[in-house]
Amino acid sequence: MKKITFIGAGSLQFTSSCMRDLLTFPEFKKCEFALMDINRENLDAIAKVCEKIKAEMDCPDCVISKHDNMADALKGANGVLCTVFNGDVDIWQYDITIPKKYGIDINVGDTRSVSGIFRALRNIPLMLDICRQIEKYCPNAVFLNYTNPMSMLCGAMQKHANVEVTGLCHSVQHTIEMLGRWLGIAPEEIVYTCAGVNHQAFYTRLLHNGENLYPRLRELMKNPEIYNEEQVRNEMFLKLGYYVTESSGHNSEYNQWFRKRPDLIEKYCTHSTGWNPGEYAYSLNMRLERKKNTVKQYNDFLNNPIDKKKSVEYAADIFNARFGDGKPFVFNGNVINRGSISNLPVDACVEVPVVADRMGFRSTVVDPLPEHLAIMVNTTARIENLVIEAAMKKSKEMVYHAVCMDPLSSAVCSLEELQMLCDELFEKNRDFLGDYK
């Protein structure tokens, strides 16, 4: 019996979606789903959700097991999925509120800029500890990470652990769904190449029946209804020539153009109609609200029929390719560059097309990024490399340097202000970070 372990199983969205997706494959209809979470209430609730999925997907032979001990959950696992992060909203709120004192207005703060950097510092040790336990209890397991900041966590694990690991994000396929809706084309009919770093990857090819879709997309930007749905991303497309993954709110905090002044925030980050326009503390507020309504969310799931259709998440297809029926699967994964994108650092964690099959993960080589995009993505990739090194050496100075090079932080603050900001965040994170020197 194959075994899939969920670390941080209480994440209703990912656990329910990935389990349901796996049960659409014959190879996983007789499978153990090992649920691990340190929150016993959430663990009991997600187990009920998984039992409902098991019943409605008509898979009586699959087994649901509950664990609050990671070692027990990992023993003998073929696949591991991780959605856990260190500190919860109790500490994450300081990543958002302290920068605001210095004029840095954060939308999500889980991927980059000063907030994403400190989230990485908290979570890199946790991820490496998970890897050590995988090495011990299931050394041949395939490890799929869903936790942000994706590039920094995956880069740290791929450089400092001996585990087959990649990181997954759904921004690539969801953006293609959005573009297909605008263009009136089924997403599966769009041929694309997407490359860069997580949340800052660009569609360097966007084709339908051999036609370059970018001229049509540029014409659509004249429609206010379409332009206003994703104001930041659409403005980036019009000025930079290529479409970027991830929402407008996220992308507004990855660069120096949209959040450095109140008037720009009002113009670009307030009135979009997409799911994340860019309002201050959007994700933090959403999670605080979700935390208050956790029981209701589980009950809503339990009281409604499930959607048996497979989602666009990659995890089930990857596990099927690696240790299911072996059908190869191409996905956008987070891997060490090693020449996949020639004009990005060779040791950066990049997001490129990856082939999964019985032999493992094989990264593809794509064309170099257009030079102007390479300048932006190089900055991101080099900052992320510096943060990983800072975490391994527990170096305050390296963290200061990374924050000072961040486009949004440096557009708003002086060097002295950024050091003061970092010192405040180090103090709030002392229980998680220990002594940085």
Question: In what helix (H) or strand (E) does residue 415 lie, and over which residues does it extend?
Answer: helix 415-428
Question: What own/partner pairs with CB < 8 Å and gap ≥ 24 does 424-431 have?
Answer: 424/98, 425/94, 425/95, 425/98, 425/114, 425/118, 426/396, 426/399, 428/91, 428/94, 428/98, 429/87, 429/91, 429/94, 429/118, 429/121, 429/122
List, in order, residues 6 or more apart from 309 with CB less than 8 Å away: none
H helices of 253-304, in order, are 262-268, 282-292, 294-302
Q: CA-to-CA distance for 352 and 340, rounded, in angstroms?
A: 7
Q: CA-to-CA distance for 249 and 258, rounded, in angstroms?
A: 10
Catalytic residue among 67, 170, 199, 250: 170
Classify the phi-psi angles of 344: left when phi > 0, otherwise alpha if psi is within -120 to 50, otherwise beta: beta
If one counts every other C-beta atom within 10 angstroms of the C-beta of residue 415, the result is 11
DSSP 109-149: -SSSHHHHHHHHHHHHHHHHHHHHHHHHH-TT-EEEE--SS
Q: Is 174 a catalytic residue?
A: no
If one counts every other C-beta atom within 10 angstroms of the C-beta of residue 325, the result is 11
Residue 175 Cα to chain centre, angstroms: 14
Buried b (16+ CB within 10 A) or exposed e, 79-92: bbbbbbbbbebebb
Please report, to the nearest 10 degrees, the dihedral formed by the alpha carbons of residues 117, 279, 17, 32 taken in order. 30
**275 is written with which tokens?**
């799911």
Whether cis (ω within 30° of 0) applies to the bond prior to 328 is no
List, in order, residues 6 or more apart from 105 with CB less than 8 Å away: 99, 259, 265, 280
The secondary structure of residue 403, as a DSSP letter, is H
Q: CA-to-CA distance for 281 and 264, rounded, in angstroms?
A: 17
Please give the radius of gyration of the chain, using alpha carbons only, rounded to the nearest integer. Answer: 21
**What residues are annotated to the active site?**
170
